[in-house]
Amino acid sequence: MYKSIIASALTLAALSGCAYNVENPVDHVTYRNEPLVDQIKDGMTKQRAIELGGPASSEHTLSGNRGTCNDYVLNREGKQQPYYVAFDVNDRVMSKGFMSCAEHEQNVREKSRM
């Protein structure tokens, strides 16, 4: 009994450390065939990412002059889902995910406080 409680507590503690970047797995399954989700990889050039994903809805400069971030809106079956692609100062993909650039920036700030 105690072993299962301890195991559960450790699992919860480990997962809470990753909570700043939690993505809904349903979103990944729903949009997995979209070029932004399927084909854009870390390290890819910004030019190639835009060729694959198309023009962004908006582009933002990341805090601390770390690069830029493109906001996209994925659409499927009437549902809209934000998606971001962040580029470093060398215009290479450094991260991407199912949230807006603003949410990504907030997560980065929260992570840096930890």
For residue 66, give the CATH number of its domain: 3.30.1450.10
Check residue 67 and give its pLDDT: 96
pLDDT at position 108:
86
Q: Assess if residue 83 is contained within a domain.
A: yes
Instruction: Please indicate, yes or no, if residue 7 is contained in any of the structural domains.
Output: no
Please state, in angstroms and rounded to a whole number, the distance separating the CA atoms of residues 109 and 54. 28
Pair of tokens at residue 91:
């215009």
Q: What is the pLDDT of residue 68?
A: 97
What's the domain range around 97?
Answer: 23-113
Predicted structure pTM score: 0.75
Asked if residue 1 belongs to a domain, the reply is no
- Residues of the chain short of pLDDT 70, as ranges, are 1-26, 28
Q: Per the domain annotation, does 51 fall within a domain?
A: yes
The pLDDT of residue 45 is 98
When divided into structural domains, the chain yields a total of 1
